[in-house]
Amino acid sequence: MINLILFGPPGSGKGTQAAHLVERYNLVHISTGDLFRYEMGNNTPLGLQAKSYISKGELVPDAVTIGMLRNKVEAHSDANGFIFDGFPRTIPQAEALDHLMAEEGTVIHALIALQVPDEAIVERIKLRGATSGRTDDSDENIIRNRINVYKTETTPVFDYYAQQGKSHSVNGLGSIEEILARLCAAIEGIERKP
C-alpha cells in the first residue's frame, strides 16, 4: 500500500499526472473537488452541510471535508493506496489527514510536489481557459492571485511533511511522459510502511 499527496500550484499538472499514477499503481484518486461535487450532487448529509456553508459564501469546515474523505477511504478499504489531490491545503488539514490515516491503520507515505515556474503556470492555465469555460482560467490577475494564495497558505504543508522526511520535489516541466517518469522514480524510492 502507498498513500500519496500530489502537491503543486493550480495548473501544475496534478490532475493529469494523478490519472496516470492511478493506472500505473492501481490507486484510488481522491480529488476534494470531485468529492464535494459527488456529496452535494447526491444530497448526502455531508453534502447538505457543505452546501449550507457554500451558499453563504463561507468555507466548508475541515471536519466536513475530513468526513467526506473518511467515507471515500472506507469505501475503498481494499485499495492499494490513495492519491490525495487538492487536500491538505493547511497544516490543520494535514494533521487531520494524518489522524484519519492512523485510524485506518496506515500513513501518508509521501508528499510529491510538482515544481513549475509561475510564468509556465500562467501560460498553462490560460491555455486551459481557452477550452475549460472557467472564467478563473482566463483572467491573468486571478491566476496570479491563485498562485500567491497557494504559496502563502499551502506551501507550509510541504514543510510539515518535510519535517517527517516525507516531502519530495519533482520537476513539473516537460512532456507528460517525462514528468510521469520523474514521479514514478520518486515513488519507487519511497519507503512503504503499513
Between 192 and 143, name the one with better pLDDT.
143
State which amino acid sits at residue 36: F
Residues 61 and 53: beta-carbon distance below 8 Å? yes
169 pLDDT band, cuts 50/70/90, is very high
Structural domain includes residue 130: yes
Domain count, the chain: 1
| Separation between Cα atoms, residue 33 and residue 105, nearest integer Å | 25
Q: What is the pLDDT of residues 1-24, one digit of tens each?
A: 899 999 998 889 998 999 999 999
The model carries a pTM of 0.87
Structure-derived torsion over alpha carbons of residues 150, 93, 49, 71, reported in degrees to the nearest 10: 120
| 194 pLDDT more than 70 | no
Sheet strand arrangement including 167-171: 28-31, 81-85, 2-7, 110-115, 167-171
Average pLDDT of the chain to the nearest whole number: 91
Mean pLDDT, range 63-88, rounded to an integer:
92
Predicted local distance difference test score (pLDDT) of residue 58: 80
Q: Indicate the angle between helix axes 32-41 and 45-54, nearest 10 degrees.
A: 100
CA angle 186, 190, 193 (to 5 degrees): 155
| Separation between Cα atoms, residue 179 and residue 20, nearest integer Å | 11
Q: What is the pLDDT of residues 46-60, one digit of tens each?
A: 999 998 988 887 878
45 pLDDT band, cuts 50/70/90, is very high
| 193 pLDDT more than 80 | no
For residue 63, CA distances in Å to 66, 97, 161, 174, 181 come to 5, 10, 21, 38, 36
Q: Residue 152 belongs to what domain range?
A: 2-188
Structural domain includes residue 194: no
Predicted local distance difference test score (pLDDT) of residue 134: 74
Structural domain includes residue 193: no
Structural domain includes residue 111: yes
- Domain harbouring 35, CATH code: 3.40.50.300
DSSP lists the bridge partners of residue 5 as 84, 111
